Amino acid sequence: MADGAVGATRRKRQGTSNGKTTLREVAEHAGVSPAAVSRAFTPGSPISDALRARVIEAAEGLGYRPNRMAAGLAGGRSGLVGIVADGFADPGLLDLLDHATRAMKGHGLIPILLNSEGQESFEDIQRIVHDYGIEALLLLSPGLSRRFVQGVQKSGIRYAHAFEAHSADPAAAQAGVRDILAARLAAATFAERGYVAPAMIAGPEGTRHFREPANGFTTTLDRLGLPNRVVHAESWSPDAGARAMAGLLAQGACDAVFCASDTLAIGALGAVRAAGRAVPEDIGLIGYDDLAASAWPEIDLSTIAFPRAEIARYCVDFLARLRDDPSLKPEAFVAEPLLVERSTLRSARV
């Protein structure tokens, strides 16, 4: 019967049915068991090609789509992955979000956006993961505390981590540029361009990305016999960058500044100009991120690229593979820091 009359149920219920075809109806129309329908839609399930074909045909005829919530409940595979993000003032996040969501779509994964701005503790996130049967977490947040990351680690929740890249024996899947290498590159570049007193504006204290790049920066410069110093910005905003730069300028004695992010560098750039100093002659500037805005002619910032597209894709692909093979070992994708040459750096001495 084409009208799909289902065995009389005692009462009409609302549920999420939404007037949509259910697995049971497909089973009846195809003349198979419900289990067969389920198997037909589950890759790797034990089912013959013939049976599967029959099911698929009936399903298409009825416009059937498995209800993922029910599948998640029954089988634990909701297809939901939580994107933990903060730093909503940094356009780089938007880019990451764009790439990550596109990659997820390719894997049939659905992104839940977990805004961890402010003091979202790991426990809060963990609760949501439980409440919704979220399968994995994608950490897209540079501002995550060590405590948070350790919490995720211990919880056993699957995850991948952008903004983290320790090539040796990673504790979890991660992808990123190694901050220390970026900092070394910046330091070496300043030296090569003839700057003699480089400084660094690092991110706010307490961030996981603070110590490593600062070390890379000072160590390299020490080795080259150049003076150097590191100050912190109070946040990642351009304003914070401008204030830090103003402070550096007030103390004199610096002619090049590496900023831990492009947002910081953009603020610093404004501060340098406001102080009547010339970029890149008086002051050289290197950012870190290569935001779209950094390429605008008004900004035109020399910076170290952070390959957001590759990193987002790598993390999502890893999560998708992990889903098919839970025994997968953590891996790291380490991108090389790359200098994007624009106008805030003197050219190399010839």
Residues that bind DNA (CB under 7 A): 9-11, 13-17, 20, 22-24, 32-39, 41-42, 45-48, 50-51, 64-67, 70-71, 73-77
Question: Any idea which residue has 């950094």 for tokens?
Answer: 294
* CB nearer to its own copies: pick between 168 and 327: 327
Q: How many residues bind its own copies (CB under 8 A)?
A: 56
* Residue 226 binds to its own copies (criterion: CB under 8 A): no
- CA–CA dist 212, 192 (Å, integer): 22
* Residue 344 binds to its own copies (criterion: CB under 8 A): no
Instruction: Name the DSSP class of 194.
Output: T
Q: Give just the sign of the alpha carbon dihedral 51, 53, 57, 62.
A: positive
* CB nearer to DNA: pick between 23 and 139: 23
Q: Return the residue of 16, 119, 327, 347 that touches its own copies, per CB under 8 A.
A: 16
With beta carbons less than 8 A apart as the criterion, state whether 139 and 157 touch: no
* Residue 35 binds to its own copies (criterion: CB under 8 A): no
- The total of other beta-carbon atoms located within 10 Å of residue 31's CB is 10
What part of residues 177-216 is at the interface with its own copies (CB under 8 A)?
none
Which among 48-56, 78-86, 327-335, 342-350 is the span making contact with its own copies, rule CB under 8 A? 78-86
Smallest gap from residue 61 Cβ to DNA (A): 15
* CB nearer to its own copies: pick between 169 and 325: 325
Alpha carbon 315 to its chain's center = 8
Q: Which does 222 bind (CB under 5 to 8 A by kind): its own copies, DNA, none?
A: none
With beta carbons less than 8 A apart as the criterion, state whether 200 and 229 touch: yes
Q: Which does 53 bind (CB under 5 to 8 A by kind): its own copies, DNA, none?
A: none
With beta carbons less than 8 A apart as the criterion, state whether 185 and 245 touch: no
Which among 86-94, 246-254, 313-321, 332-340 is the span making contact with its own copies, rule CB under 8 A? 86-94
* CB nearer to its own copies: pick between 132 and 210: 132
* Residue 127 binds to its own copies (criterion: CB under 8 A): yes
With beta carbons less than 8 A apart as the criterion, state whether 238 and 264 touch: yes
* Residue 15 binds to its own copies (criterion: CB under 8 A): yes
Which among 106-114, 187-195, 248-256, 316-324 is the span making contact with its own copies, rule CB under 8 A? 106-114
Nearest to 343 by CA among 303, 289, 312: 303
* Residue 343 binds to its own copies (criterion: CB under 8 A): no
Smallest gap from residue 155 Cβ to its own copies (A): 10
Tokens of 257: 């500044």
Question: Any idea which residue has 């994995």 for tokens?
Answer: 136
Residue 238, preceding peptide bond in cis (omega within 30° of 0):
no
Q: Which helix (H) or strand (E) holds 314?
A: helix 308-324
Classify residue 7 as exposed, middle or buried by CB count within 10 Å of its CB (0-12, 13-18, 19+): exposed
Q: Which does 121 bind (CB under 5 to 8 A by kind): DNA, its own copies, none?
A: none
Q: Which does 274 bind (CB under 5 to 8 A by kind): its own copies, DNA, none?
A: its own copies
- CA–CA dist 51, 250 (Å, integer): 78
